[in-house]
Amino acid sequence: MKRLKLLTSVFMMFVFAGINAQETEQKEPRQQGHTNQNKFRQMYQEMATPNQYRTASGAPGPAYYQNEADYKMDIVLDDKNSVLTGEETITYHNNSPQDLEYLWVQLDQNIRKKDAPQKDGDGLAPVATAAGFANKYLETPFDGGFDIKEVSANGSDLKYTINQTMMRVDLPKPLKAGETYTFDIKWSYNVNNHVTNRARSGYEFFPEDGNKAYVIAQFFPRMAVYNDVEGWQNYQFWGNGEFALPFGDYEVNITVPADHIMEATGELQNRKEVYSKEMMKRYEQAKKSYDKPVMIVTQEEAEKAEKNFSEKTKTWTYKADMVRDFAFSTSRKFILDMMAVDVMGKDVMAVSVYPKEGNPLWEEWSTKAVAATLESYSEHTFQYPYHKAVSVHAKNQGMEYPMICWNYGRPDENGNYSDRTKFGMISVIIHEVGHNFFPMIVNSDERQWGWMDEGINTFVQYVAEQEFGKKHPEAIAPESNYPSRRGAPSKIVPYMKGNQDYISPIMSNPEQVYQLGNNAYGKPATALNILRETVMGRELFDYAFATYSKRWMFKHPTPEDFFRTMEDASGVDLDWFWRGWFYTTDNVDIGIKDVQKYYVTDNPTEAGREMLKRYGTTPEETKALYVVSEDDEAFSEEMKGKSLMENSETLQAYVMDNFSEEERKNLQAPKYFYQVTFEKPGGLVMPIIVELTYEDGTSEKVTYPVQIWRKNDSNVSKVIPSNKEITKITLDPDLETADVDVNNNSWPKNENKSEFDEYKDSAQD
């Protein structure tokens, strides 16, 4: 205890000095008042007030509710004419405490109506591609909007109004709280070519064999979300902001040419009718194959089917419970393979569907990537609740739906592919299969908050990719980690130090941001990675993150629910982190401004005397030591290399009077006192991570918590007592904070890079 007292009293002197310098600096005689802009203030102004629906802990409250929509659908695909026709019965459960006068239904395909409003400005560049030019100025716009043929209930027409991509269905009488309403919609639309007419849904046409491969989604009128946060979420579909959808149960019959192979959301109900005997046999084998995929439809069989063009049809029947959407993929070109995965003690089927154009890449990696994703994500969130996860290969696609997703990654005509194609494909599969967790199960509002599914998912994707590299070392280069494109702090630096005119805060609607990929994917993923590795540590972070995932599994969380849960379950105050990283476009830049070496002496200095006077005390009363730097007049060369007590008899006397012999043996005797001043040109507050290198070549890492910035946002000093001479100080030595300028990160200063070197470095990225 006494040892502490000694150090405390020595440090008090430094602290006096520190406060003196920082708090009583000459101030202009102004002064205007100001509001509390402290970066550590709590987020009462930014966050919604907690209530009975959503609590201050970030968990659903006692009055939390969510509405549900169940669908029964009959869908027919006219392959020749690329027309999709459907009849659906929606049963809507109003679990809210309010009566509803009308229902809102989403008509996403109306974004492809001929006369859909053009929401973006454009211009002509000095050079254009023929395809782009033809597509934009020569072709008649494709007419892909919904033809709504009927909206009715019990055989009587319902009044409805279509406002672009939203349809209001007026109810004959309000739907009472707690009641259910059933109505029918009949519709059709022209399916677009998703490759030439870029879209998440449509077909790819293969001119060599005359076939189409369909990936069909957002294809039926879907209920909008009604909840305690938005009322009806009927913000129009503009293309970037994805979907807000309620959970429900689906029963879907899909009729396609008899020689098609299909995969879809849900459990196939009539497998024996649509599979051949051989396929059934292989399917049974796949259920027991945990280490490699079993081919259900081989490439040879698929190539044979390509030439059929059957005139007959088959109907595939699917059932899915507690899903927020339904999608399917169908073609006679499809190869199909499956493998069982043991996900925390539960069997799930990992499935891949691809045309021969995807091989040999797809038969090698797709299903293995699906399996690894289910394992990794389940570890970090909750056990995957569905019975399967399907990866479909579709050109240029990367898009997710419940249990099924579309993924890019295609070898060239000769079956050759680069590492970039291979890792691009594995990564997109991990990402899109990962979306089963966010937002298919943790059902956030994508229309409003792109980062809640994309950013959180890209973060877990990064973790899963690194784990994939460990599970499949044969997939990556020897002695290396999986080459993740996003997630590592250094990867977000170019974006965060970019032109502020083209950066939006993460907390922005996806339709209004610049650089959606960096804004909604890269930056939040990196922020969460830094939170896990540098700010909170894995143990606290992982527990809180899993708590959020479990609390909001099969529910609709908001950003506040995430922010609050992460603090509530970890005991770490993170308001400063959310505000800085999610609500502003500030970046991280911490530097070493100055390093001074200090000694103590009994010889009074002018500054020391003055300070004692100011505090109304005497050297005798305080048993004063005087602190001097090498620039001070009171400094002499003899002080160097001597211990504290060798330089100060006052201190010696104090120790003799106050410590027993036993205690004196344990006293430390630092010879050097460094005062390091850190500056912070970047707006974000972050912990200061320092690597100290000593004269004997050893080094040590010290981390000062972020709170060090709470009373001074621009610079802060820290005293480092040391037995050994410090030869080098490096900030953020492992580049874990996304510091945008490392030129100010070392002492003595590294030679500034020339502009040419910087150019060379950036050209290698």
Which positions lie near Zn ion, rule CB under 5 A? 454
**How far lies 466's CA from each of 427, 533, 711, in Å?**
11, 14, 38
Q: Which is nearer to Zn ion, 430 or 612 (CB)?
A: 430
Cα–Cα distance for residue pair 559/628, rounded to 1 Å: 51
Amino acid at 471: K
C-beta closer to Zn ion: residue 252 or 516: 516
Q: Which is nearer to Zn ion, 454 or 732 (CB)?
A: 454
Q: Count of CB atoms within 10 A of residue 217's CB?
A: 25
Helix runs in 659-725, H state only: 661-665
Q: CB of 97: closest distance to Zn ion in angstroms? A: 34
For the chain, give the longest Cα–Cα distance.
Answer: 106
- Contacts of residue 753, defined as CB under 8 A and 6 or more positions apart, other chains included, come to 743, 761
Closest residue (Cβ) to Zn ion?
454
CB of 229 to Zn ion, least distance (A): 22
Q: Among residues 446 and 568, whose Cβ is nearest to Zn ion?
A: 446
Which letter does DSSP use for residue 726 in this model? E
Query: DSSP character for 441?
Result: I
The CB-of-386 to Zn ion minimum distance in angstroms stands at 18
Tell me the CA distances in angstroms from 765 to 521, 553, 588, one per residue in order. Answer: 19, 39, 20
CB of 725 to Zn ion, least distance (A): 52
Question: Which residue, 293 or 557, has its beta carbon nearer to Zn ion?
Answer: 557
Give whichever of 357 and 454 is closer to Zn ion, judged by the CB atom.
Answer: 454
Strand order in the sheet with 626-629: 626-629, 591-601, 672-679, 715-722
Residue with Cβ nearer Zn ion (453 or 589): 453
Question: Is-cis flag, bond preceding 218, omega within 30?
Answer: no
Phi-psi region of 676 (alpha: psi -120 to 50; beta: other; left: phi over 0): beta
What is the DSSP code string of 536-566? I-HHHHHHHHHHHHHHTTTB---HHHHHHHH
| Nearest to 323, CA basis, from 272, 378, 388, 396 | 388
Q: Find the shortest distance in angstroms from Cβ 431 to Zn ion.
A: 6
Instruction: Report phi then psi at 61, rounded to 5.
Output: -90, 180
User: Least Å distance between CB 438 and Zn ion?
Assistant: 9
**Closer residue to Zn ion in complex, CB, 454/586:** 454
> In terms of CB distance, is 306 or 400 closer to Zn ion?
400
Structure-token match 């479909």, residue found: 392
User: Which sign does the torsion angle of CA 330, 331, 332, 336 carry?
Assistant: negative
Q: Least separation, in Å, of the C-beta of 520 and Zn ion?
A: 9
Distance from C-alpha of 340 to C-alpha of 350, rounded to nearest angstrom: 6
Residue pair 510/450 in contact (Cβ under 8 Å)? The answer is yes
Q: Cα(589)–Cα(732) distance, rounded to whole angstroms?
A: 10
Task: Considering the complex, state which of residue 516 and residue 689 has its C-beta at the smaller distance from Zn ion.
Answer: 516
Write phi, then psi, for 751 (nearest 5 degrees): -60, 130
Report in angstroms how near the CB of residue 435 gets to Zn ion at its nearest: 6
By C-beta, is 454 or 567 nearer to Zn ion? Answer: 454
Least Å distance, CB 715 to Zn ion, is 40
Cα(58)–Cα(36) distance, integer angstroms? 25
Least CB distance to Zn ion at residue 393 (A): 17
Nearest-approach distance from CB 390 to Zn ion, in angstroms: 16
Query: Structure tokens of 654?
Result: 């104090």
Angle between helices 450-471 and 523-530 (to 10 degrees): 60
